[in-house]
């Protein structure tokens, strides 16, 4: 953790407040989350006794909550709890239940639950407040697309010089195992994310959104450049990120988009959800079997 990394974390709050002052609130939320996710330093925290660490995740959530309270407090009253929120509620309280079940005590349970709420619950809550309608989702889609354009030159640069931008800006590498940056005969960019896999998934998402904005006619040009050219450029960058998982999800995404457009069916999407759910279920069962049997085998999933 370096002084410039600490400064970047502290500057997020005034930047978010400025964004809320200059832009509509839903756009300010999208910009704030994307800006923090793509550019804040990794593994930089401020520790407070008895409270979760103040890091890039909690800083983003706290800043947006405060900005909402200051500039648009009536937004909080629009939230109505529904059955769709139950999975996230269970996810947030599950650490407490796990601690009690394993006889770790209520203090450990509350501490773990609070960390879970800050990491997942508050971002989900903010998404429910601001992105639960067509306008909010459109802002999110265009925001990710634009962020892909911003990130593309950085990804291309790191594919040539190796992941160095985090070290050059913040004074240390953002990933713990630099050896994982070499993949498929070249360097896998990380930029300011915690791993090349995360960068690959983000760029894959930007490519899919660019494809859909182009094919649906939602956005014909951006900065006076046709959308098909933006798609080609982002797709080439997506290939240079060298993430085979992102390649696979890109193929799934294209199939799902065009099935929805031409066949008017959501079956591929439902199949993907089923496959992901089965994968997580089998992985969880394997880990449970390993722990109960006392085996040292951790699996590969």
Q: What is the pLDDT of residue 293?
A: 58
In this predicted structure, what is the pLDDT of residue 37?
A: 93
Is pLDDT above 90 for 149? yes
What would the pLDDT profile of 171-211 be if each residue is shown by its tens digit? 998 887 777 788 888 889 999 998 888 999 999 999 999 99
DSSP 228-250: HHHHHHHHHHHHHT--HHHHHHH
Q: What is the number of alpha carbons within 13 Å of residue 234 lying toward its C-beta?
A: 30
Question: Does 109 score more than 80 pLDDT?
Answer: yes
**pLDDT confidence tier of residue 301, bands split at 50, 70 and 90:** very low
Q: What is the pLDDT of residue 238?
A: 92
User: In 94-124, which positions are buried (b, 16+ CB within 10 angstroms) versus exposed (e)?
Assistant: ebbeebeeeeeeeebbebbbbbbbbbebbbb
User: Do strands 225-226 and 221-222 pair parallel, antiparallel, or not at all (unpaired)?
Assistant: antiparallel
Instruction: Encode pLDDT of 7-29 as tens digits.
Output: 999 999 999 999 999 999 999 99
SS3 5: helix
> Which pLDDT tens digit goes with each residue over 222-262?
999 999 999 999 999 999 999 888 898 888 888 888 887 77
Residues 25-62 have pLDDT tens digits of 999 999 999 999 999 999 888 887 767 788 998 999 99
Bridge partners (DSSP) listed for residue 46: 54
If you average pLDDT over residues 139-158, what whole number do you get?
94
pTM of the model: 0.84
Residue in 166, 246, 251, 172 with CA at minimum distance from that of residue 203 = 246
Question: What are the tokens at 92?
Answer: 């947030």
Decide if 29 contacts 126 (C-beta within 8 A).
yes
3-state secondary structure of 260: helix
* pLDDT reported for residue 289: 58
For 161-177, what is each residue's pLDDT tens digit? 989 999 999 999 888 77
């Amino acid at each position: 953790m370096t002084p410039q990394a600490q400064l970047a974390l502290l500057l997020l709050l005034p930047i978010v407040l400025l964004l809320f002052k200059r832009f509509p609130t839903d756009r300010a939320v999208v910009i704030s989350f994307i800006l923090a996710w793509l550019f804040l330093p990794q593994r930089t925290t401020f520790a407070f006794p008895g409270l979760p660490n103040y890091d890039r995740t909690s800083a983003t959530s706290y800043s947006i909550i405060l900005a909402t309270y200051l500039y648009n407090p009536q937004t909080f009253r629009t939230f109505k709890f529904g059955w769709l929120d139950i999975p996230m509620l269970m996810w947030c309280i599950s650490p407490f239940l796990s601690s009690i079940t394993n006889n770790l005590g209520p203090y450990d349970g509350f501490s773990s639950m609070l960390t879970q709420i800050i990491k997942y619950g508050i971002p989900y809550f903010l998404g429910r407040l601001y992105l639960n309608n067509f306008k909010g989702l459109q802002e999110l889609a265009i925001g990710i697309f634009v962020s892909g354009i911003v990130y593309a030159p950085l990804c291309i640069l790191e594919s040539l010089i190796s992941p160095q931008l985090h070290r050059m800006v913040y004074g240390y590498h953002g990933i713990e195992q630099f050896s994982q940056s070499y993949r498929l005969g070249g360097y896998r960019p990380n930029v300011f994310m915690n791993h090349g896999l995360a960068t690959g998934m983000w760029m894959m998402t930007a490519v899919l959104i660019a494809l859909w904005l182009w094919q649906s006619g939602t956005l014909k040009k951006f900065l006076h450049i046709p959308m098909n050219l933006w798609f080609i450029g982002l797709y080439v960058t997506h290939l240079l990120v060298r993430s085979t998982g992102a390649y696979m999800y890109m193929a799934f995404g294209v199939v799902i988009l065009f099935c929805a457009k031409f066949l008017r069916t959501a079956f591929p999407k439902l199949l993907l959800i089923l496959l992901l759910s089965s994968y997580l279920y089998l992985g969880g069962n394997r880990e449970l079997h390993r722990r109960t049997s006392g085996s040292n085998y951790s699996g590969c999933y």
